[in-house]
A and B are shown apart, each in its own frame.
Chain A
Amino acid sequence: MDLAQFLVQALNGVQYGLLLFLVASGLTLIFGIMGIINLAHGAFYMIGAYLAYWLVGLTDNLFLAILLGIPIAVAVGLVIERLLIARLYDRDHLDQVLLTYGLILILNETQKILWGSDFHGVPVPEMLAGSVPLTENQAYPVYRLFISAVCLGVAAGMWLVIARTRLGMMIRAGASNREMTSALGINIGRVFAIVFALGVALAAFSGMIGAPVSSVYPGMGDRVLIISFVVVVIGGIGSVKGAFIGALLIGLADTFGRVLVPDFASMVIYALMALVLLWRPQGLFGRAP
């Protein structure tokens, strides 16, 4: 692999990692703060991708599609939270796994009813369709750079909200001591609903903005869910910073694994997870038990 190829793979890995981060950060927040194992989180990524496919078909404009799609995804997420997830807060993990697994089945089936089982593609927006030269004979698609930049922006925005706003304070307080937070007059149920909706919005956004670089197909959320769990475990449950670092590690490991050891590509990320956990059982930024 020469330098140019290395650079291409590194950029691909970072871009994939940043997309994963959007999904994994919601997963880790929902688990760390609300104590909910949400197996349906990957399905929201899929919903995002299908919304992009559907709305681009209607509007012929990915940006407009995203603008319209996020409120739809958030509405779906809020309905699910109020109707189903809110009943799980005081239940054990088995109940949560059963219910959210059932949700995957329902959402996947709904997807088939609405959009069928074919594979679809979403075109790259025209204004971002070009590529930038890396070396004389190696170019890199602008749209992938755009994805990375937008995801970095979203990550920075998340950091701002969590570290600098009153909502962020409530989210952190709720994560460390739910009872004390509510005894101070804060409606923890509402905070949870907001966190859940934010998580759904992030996952769906990831599916939407990533749609032009991956195809849109049934069950596409399942693999993303598993990898996002790997990210959450590596980063440390509940840690957004951990999810960020973990997602970049996994994105790079997966991308380079496919190129360097294609026969073992599917194992690379799990090997990485095992190594991290041997070294730090609570994950990179997890609180020691």
Chain B
Amino acid sequence: MSQTALLEAAGLHTYYGASHVLRGVDLTIRPGESVGLLGRNGMGKTTTIRSILGLTPPRRGKVTLDGRPVTGAPPHTIARRGVALVPEGRGIFPNLTVRENLTMGARPAPPDSPAEDWALDRVLTLFPPLGERLDTWGNLLSGGQQQMLSMGRALMTNPRLLILDEATEGLAPQVRNEIWSVVRAIKDAGIATLIVDKDLKTMLRVCDHCVILAKGQVVYAGPASALAADPEIHVRFLGI
């Protein structure tokens, strides 16, 4: 606990117009740590991510990166502090080629960072199918390839925290496994992750820490191993 948190969100209250969606969400992610964000449909997982990134700024509460506040900062500033998003629905730019999708947001790692740079070659090594389709328009890829593209694009910004919102949704089982193995590789490369996914079993194996949301509030936060050992919580908050 002595290490400063990479990301700390405290008491987030977020609204869409008049509807009060997040009601005091707390979330901490330490450098290199993998945190799973769980909860049934509509409980506020995506909204938590949007609040952290400044896409839907919280009305109350604060977000800090390395102890420095970023609450109210625009998304591009927060992204440039080392946060990258793989959004629900993948967010591929259809009117950009695969290569352009990958390079448009590319930023080298900060000079003081010990991590190896995620340049195009390295990303293509992680996702070989993309290398064969560099000059294809983004929307012409298969679902699995689009997911790889979205992840590769995020890695090219050399993030310290990668946020994955439903990265395996709508993919065939074999493709899901590939995505999960990439998630593990990203984790092994030392990048912290915030993962939202419906696949509880895999989440419990991949994540270090889990947070469960219900109606915009944190109803469970603890080590993944503790959650794995407590099926009663699965039934109560995840309906499994």
Binding site for B on A (CB under 8 A): 166, 169-170, 172-173, 175-177, 179-189
Of the candidates A170, A177, A182, the one having the most CB atoms from chain B within 10 angstroms of its own CB is: A182
Contact B75 A179 (CB under 8 A): yes
Contact of A184 among B74, B94, B95, B105 (CB under 8 A): B105
B234 at the interface (CB under 8 A from A): no
Question: In the docked arrangement, what's the CA distance between A183 and B79, Å?
Answer: 6
Question: In the docked arrangement, what's the CA distance between A187 and B54, Å?
Answer: 13
Chain B residues lying within 8 Å of A189, measured Cβ to Cβ, are 74
Chain B residues lying within 8 Å of A166, measured Cβ to Cβ, are 103-104
Known: A173-B93, A176-B94. A185 touches B100 (CB 8 A): no
B55 at the interface (CB under 8 A from A): yes
Given contacts A173-B93, A173-B95, A183-B85, 6 further A-B contacts (CB under 8 A): A172-B93, A172-B96, A180-B85, A182-B55, A184-B84, A184-B85
Chain B residues lying within 8 Å of A170, measured Cβ to Cβ, are 104
Chain A residues lying within 8 Å of B59, measured Cβ to Cβ, are none
Binding site for A on B (CB under 8 A): 53, 55, 74-76, 79-80, 84-85, 87, 91, 93-96, 100, 103-105, 107, 153-154, 157
* Residue contacts A-B, CB under 8 angstroms, 11 given: A169-B100, A172-B93, A172-B95, A176-B95, A176-B96, A180-B87, A180-B91, A182-B75, A183-B84, A183-B85, A184-B104
Residue of B at shortest CB range from A188?
Answer: B76
Residue of B at shortest CB range from A174?
Answer: B93
Contact B95 A183 (CB under 8 A): no
Contact B76 A182 (CB under 8 A): yes
Chain A residues lying within 8 Å of B74, measured Cβ to Cβ, are 182, 187, 189
Residue of A at shortest CB range from B74?
Answer: A182
Contact B55 A177 (CB under 8 A): no
Chain A residues lying within 8 Å of B103, measured Cβ to Cβ, are 166, 169
Known: A166-B104, A169-B100, A169-B104. A183 touches B93 (CB 8 A): no
Chain A residues lying within 8 Å of B53, measured Cβ to Cβ, are 183
Residue of A at shortest CB range from B154?
Answer: A184
State how many angstroms separate the Cβ of A104 from the closest Cβ of chain B.
31
Residue of A at shortest CB range from B85?
Answer: A183
Residue of B at shortest CB range from A169?
Answer: B104
Question: In the docked arrangement, what's the CA distance between A177 and B153, Å?
Answer: 14
Contact of B76 among A173, A177, A186 (CB under 8 A): A186
Residue of B at shortest CB range from A179?
Answer: B55
Chain A residues lying within 8 Å of B76, measured Cβ to Cβ, are 182-188
State how many angstroms separate the Cβ of A62 from the closest Cβ of chain B.
38
Contact B79 A180 (CB under 8 A): no
Contact B79 A185 (CB under 8 A): yes
Contact B75 A183 (CB under 8 A): yes
Contact A176 B157 (CB under 8 A): no
